[in-house]
Amino acid sequence: MENYIEPIKYAIIIFPFIAFLFTLPYILHQYHKYGSVYYFRVLIVYSFILYLISAYFLVILPLPSFEEVNQMTSPTTQLVPFSFIRDFIEHSSFQIQDFSTYIKALMEPYCYVVLYNILLTIPFGIYLGYYFKCSLKKCVFYSFCLSLFFEITQLSGLYGIYSRGYRLFDVDDLILNTLGGLIGYLCSLGIKKILPSRERIDQKAYELGRKVSWLKRTTLFFLDLFFYTVIASFVQIFVSGNLSLYLTFLFYYVLYPYWRNGKTLAGSFLNVKIEVEANQSILFSLFLRQNLFYIGYFVLPAYVLILGGGITASLPLPRSVRTLSSLFIILIVIVYLFGSFLRLIRKKRPYYEVFSKTKLVSTIGIDDHNENIPNNFVRQKRK
């Protein structure tokens, strides 16, 4: 049993690092497709990733030393189907005429191996049937492919890292793993009656996508900043200087959204646009909004830090007092920025939007380009 528990421990340890690399692309995909990051979907997807890591580690761990593998002379393949039945009968205490041996035989290692190979892919079949909505044929096929990947991993000596396979390529494993996927699919039919359906999950995600959450705002800001940095860097190749940076800023954050009905490049991808209140000049409101944002969150904090630090350094004060004064100025800036962020979390409009009479709105259910949106959601949104 320890051989099964240890790989799962390693999977749990490595999972946060894999999840970290996966999170940003996942968030961008969810905002692009659904307009929100729904917690129940996150739970399903990330648990699926953890399962796949655990299954993979169960297949490859524990890793032997290179010396051990080089000295191995055992066969690397077993290509006779259903050999596990013969091995179970020959090497276990099972006697077909003696009922008292049945329970005992089920507790022996030969039975463990068979059950392990079946149990390994039951969750895979459940995920395919419940969340990914695969048919029975696709579920069996994908389960077979997953098992084949595991067996090739073993046969190739971990893709050539080892001189030979350190575990057996067994055709029975393909049969048992595929059977496990099939059982998992059958289990998913019952799970569908208990947990929310995939359609309901999608519907809930679209409903949440109507709102522009603080996380969506933050994602929009950093993605816009990325696009702006790329464009500004390209412009700097030909025209250097702060003026070109500011003109690029006006083009990206003001002129382009004006031409694109309030959408920046990131806004188009994340289904978010800037909406100007009625009877307001769109171009001026966009100009005021972006400049207030830039001044409020970049220029003003930097100016306070630089000016405050300069004044503190010029005063004839003890060094300890100057240090405390500098720390106090930094604390003021942190409190100011944190207060602004807290206002977003409390779902209040930022001051730069209040003064410019603009707001961010979701375009989920409004733009017809997203074919994944349910028809009833689109009709409801247009009412």
Q: Residue 96: what pLDDT?
A: 63
**Each residue's pLDDT tens digit, 21-37:** 899 999 999 999 999 99
Per-residue pLDDT of 154-182, as tens digits, reads 999 999 999 888 888 999 999 999 999 99
Per-residue model confidence as pLDDT tens digits over 291-335: 999 999 888 888 888 888 777 777 777 877 778 888 888 898 899
Residue 88 CB partners (closer than 8 Å, separation 6+): 94, 105, 110, 111, 114
Q: Which whole number is the average pLDDT over 186-203?
A: 93
Residue 379 clears pLDDT 50, i.e. is over it: no
Residue 224, both tokens:
């816009």
> What is the pLDDT at residue 320?
78
Going by pLDDT thresholds of 50, 70 and 90, the confidence category of residue 380 is very low
At 129 the pLDDT is 96
**Crossing angle (nearest 10°) for helices 171-191 and 109-130:** 50
Contact present, 340 and 297 (Cβ < 8 Å) = yes
Estimate the crossing angle of helix 39-60 against helix 2-33, to 10 degrees.
140
Q: Give 275's strand partners.
A: 359
Quick check: 152 pLDDT over 70?
yes
* Residue range 121-145: mean pLDDT, rounded: 96
Of the candidates 356, 378, 355, 359, the residue with the CA atom closest to the CA atom of residue 367: 378
**Three-class secondary structure of residue 282 per DSSP:** helix
Using CA atoms, how far apart are residues 255 and 372, in angstroms rounded to an integer? 30
The length of the chain, given as a count of residues: 383
- pLDDT category, 219, cuts 50, 70, 90? very high
For residue 224, what pLDDT band results from cuts at 50, 70 and 90?
A: very high
> Over the stretch 260-288, which tens digit does the pLDDT of each residue have?
999 999 999 999 999 998 888 899 999 99
What's the mean pLDDT in 353-379? 68
For the stretch 308-320, pLDDT in tens is 877 777 777 787 7
Q: What is the CA radius of gyration of the chain?
A: 30
pLDDT computed for residue 5 by the predictor:
80
Q: What is the pLDDT of residue 91?
A: 66
Residue closest to 364 by CA, chosen among 136, 126, 31: 31
User: Which of 1-5, 130-134, 241-245: highest mean pLDDT?
Assistant: 130-134
Beta partners for 358?
A: 276
Residues 320, 139: Cα–Cα separation, whole Å: 69
Summarize pLDDT for 48-83 with one digit per residue, the tens: 999 999 999 999 988 889 999 988 888 888 888 888
Instruction: Please check whether residue 274 is in contact with residue 267, taking contact to mean a CB–CB distance below 8 angstroms.
Output: yes
pTM (2 decimals)? 0.81
Compute CA 91 distance to the chain's CA centroid, rounded to the nearest angstrom.
46
Q: What is the pLDDT of residue 204?
A: 93
**pLDDT of the residue at 368:** 44
